[in-house]
Chains A and B, each alone.
Chain A
Amino acid sequence: QITLKESGPTVVKPTQTLTLTCTFSGFSFSTIGVTVGWIRQPPGKALEWLAVIYWDDDKRYTPSLEGRLTITKDTSKNQVVLTVTNMDPVDTATYYCAHRQSGVRVFDIWGQGTMVTVSS
């Protein structure tokens, strides 16, 4: 059974760096094809695709935030980390990590999400 869980601060100040950790079970980056991604959703707004990381350490980012996002993985710990630099109140959102189903490019299993508020 695949599960994912996000963890990190609930409040960050403007200009600070946000670091979120996704801890998962039921799969491993040692397996070819495994991909994990991050998606966020501001309160009452649409989902926004942020980044994905592949089993071979390839990465993709949304251009609108490229330069501020970094996604990394720790295969031994079954974790994926997303950092977002220079946080702003518009970055207030629920941040989700999700497992991407191999071959069909969709997120089939999602974490519960973690709400991050940017406020001084």
Chain B
Amino acid sequence: DIQMTQSPSSVSASVGDRVTITCRASQGIGTWLAWYQQKPGQAPKLLIYTASSLQSGVPSRFSGSGSGTDFTLTISNLQPEDFATYHCQQADSFPYSFGQGTKLEIK
């Protein structure tokens, strides 16, 4: 199985800041990487697919990049509604494993 490792596990930031979250795959996955946002008590919401494609309806302050084994999710101009947990998922080979999550907290 492909292992997905996110860093940091948690991060504190303020409204208006720019934040970057990293996801590393244990082997190359091309650009088969997705990012999800999850708020407490809610299901995950798809933000980014194929590493850098923005899902319809997701604000443009969210962006993704990377290929192979290293990927980043960047959130620019943080808004109050962005404080949540973010998960990466590889979709290169079964099982389509997830990272352990990164909790974005208000500073």
Name A residues whose Cβ lies closer than 8 Å to a Cβ of B.
39, 45-50, 60-64, 96, 98, 101, 104-108, 110-113
Contact check, A101 vs B95: say whether CB atoms are below 8 A apart: no
Report the nearest B residue to A65, measured CB to CB: B95
Contact check, A113 vs B94: say whether CB atoms are below 8 A apart: no
Report the nearest A residue to B45, measured CB to CB: A110
Q: What count of chain B residues pass the 8 Å CB interface test?
A: 24
Contact check, B43 vs A110: say whether CB atoms are below 8 A apart: yes
Number of A-B contacts (CB under 8 A): 60
Contact check, B91 vs A108: say whether CB atoms are below 8 A apart: no
Given known A-B contacts A104-B50, A106-B46, A112-B43, A63 and B1 have beta carbons under 8 A apart: yes
Report the nearest A residue to B98, measured CB to CB: A47
How long is the Cα–Cα vector from A63 to B96 in the complex, in angstroms? 11
The CB with the most chain B CB atoms within 10 A, among A39, A45, A46, A113, is that of A46
Chain A residues contacting B42 (CB-CB under 8 Å) are: 112
Chain B residues contacting A46 (CB-CB under 8 Å) are: 87, 98-101
CB-contact partner of B95 in A63, A98, A106, A112, under 8 A: A63
Contact check, B95 vs A108: say whether CB atoms are below 8 A apart: no
CB-contact partner of A104 in B49, B97, B98, under 8 A: B49
CB-contact partner of B44 in A47, A48, A62, under 8 A: A47
How long is the Cα–Cα vector from A102 to B1 in the complex, in angstroms? 23
Chain A residues contacting B1 (CB-CB under 8 Å) are: 63-64
B84, chain A: closest CB distance, angstroms: 14
Residues 14-61 (chain B) with a chain A CB within 8 angstroms: 32, 34, 36, 42-46, 49-50, 53, 55
